[in-house]
Amino acid sequence: MGEGCGNDAELMRHISSANIACGFHAGNEETMKATVELAVENGVAIGAHPGYADRENFGRLPMDLSAQEVKEIVSEQISTLRSIVTRKGTKLTHVKPHGALYNQAARSSALSAAIADAVYSQDPHLILFCLSGSVMIVEAHRRGLRTANEVFADRTYQADGSLTPRTQPNALIEDTATAVAQALSMIQKHSVTAVDGTIVNLTADTICLHGDGSHAVEFATALRDGLSSNGVKIAPIRPS
């Protein structure tokens, strides 16, 4: 959210948690303020969405930063959004890394540790959203952070539980019914079918839907209806 896609107000009516761009891959102070206000109006939990400082590529190309550099950029972005959230009289609840930073950290203990250190240094009560089953979960727990296993409704999976890279065919799910079916499988069966047919076991605490997707609002509406009609309670994950 807050990435300049023009659909934030519509999406906020269907989601329970928002990951707000913190000015590096997208957004600025004004968009952060506006998106925080929308979240408050709709009772949506507010999370920081830190990414690489690469607006040209929307933070989706890998970068070769040291663990210390990653810690610094993540800490800076959380701090920026947190100050805005505080001024609005509410609280930051979670952190979800964006794009290439998220995907690289899911495979790297060093980057995961750097992100976890940044989150802990800002607020040890923040929840870190991590790719389900990844090393991010392990490193966050080592630092005493609470985590949420994140799964994706609009992305396909590889046999190792990673997301299919956007550079490959069929990385994105474009069909609404397929997205809803995948979400329900991950919640009810604790598994997802990878692109090669492999059944991948996972845990689903929170479902990611990309706000910049061409069917974002349609997907959000269908997902909320589909989950609710199948007895799935939708609620923000909040610090204990």
What are the pLDDT digits (tens) for 95-148? 999 999 999 999 999 999 999 999 999 999 999 999 999 999 999 999 999 999
Buried b (16+ CB within 10 A) or exposed e, 58-80: bbbeebebebeebbebbbbbbbb
* Structural element, H or E, at residue 137: helix 135-142
Q: What does the block give as tokens for 26?
A: 């997208």
In this structure, the dihedral spanned by the alpha carbons of residues 61, 215, 129 and 167, taken in order and rounded to 10 degrees, is -30
Label residue 186 by pLDDT band (50, 70, 90): very high
pLDDT exceeds cutoff 70 at 219:
yes
CB 37 within 8 A of CB 88: yes
Rounded CA-CA distance 14/82 in Å is 23
In the predicted model, what is the mean pLDDT of residues 77-84? 98
pLDDT at 67: 97
pLDDT exceeds cutoff 70 at 240:
no
Burial of 146 (0-12, 13-18, 19+ CB in 10 A): middle
- pLDDT digit string (tens) for 20-53? 999 999 999 999 999 999 999 999 999 999 999 9
Q: In the chain, pLDDT over 90 holds for what percent of residues?
A: 98
In three-state secondary structure terms, 176 is helix
In order of start, what are the domains of the chain with their CATH numbers? Answer: 8-229 (3.20.20.370)
Rounded CA-CA distance 218/226 in Å is 12
- How many degrees, rounded to 5, is the angle at CA 219 between CA 239 and CA 197? 90
Rounded CA-CA distance 1/39 in Å is 10
CB 20 within 8 A of CB 2: yes
Rounded CA-CA distance 68/53 in Å is 15
DSSP per residue, 219-230 = HHHHHHHHHHHT
Of 189, 195, 190, residue with least CA distance to 172 = 195
Rounded CA-CA distance 198/19 in Å is 30
Burial of 5 (0-12, 13-18, 19+ CB in 10 A): middle
Determine phi and psi for 172, rounding to 5 degrees. -105, 140
pLDDT at 237: 85
pTM of this prediction? 0.97
